Amino acid sequence: MSDAQQLVKALNELAKGPQFSYIKARAAARQEPNVDWPATKAHNADFNPEVDGCESFVMRDGSLCEWKSGQFRYAASS
């Protein structure tokens, strides 16, 4: 879960910015080597930015950096 917590911290800092978007979140996540991209792609298969806001990211340790749309932030979960 520590992998997800590190990414959550970085993405929540970005989310405070005025121009935050799912594109910026994805770009920041691409800098994180512990993101499991095949699993993330499968997890977000039905992702729609207009409805969902931002994607969630699956980490190599199995934890999840999950977007909480109603709270406009990310949270770590296992």
Q: What is the mean pLDDT of each run of 10 residues along the chain (78 residues)?
A: 90 93 94 96 94 95 94 94
Q: Could you give the CA distance from residue 64 to residue 36 in angstroms, rounded to a whole number?
A: 10
> Do 22 and 55 meet the contact criterion of CB atoms below 8 Å apart?
yes
pLDDT of residue 13: 95
Structural tokens at position 20: 């935050």
DSSP state of 32: -
pLDDT of residue 69: 87
pLDDT of residue 1: 62
Model pTM? Answer: 0.91
The position carrying tokens 């992702």 is: 47
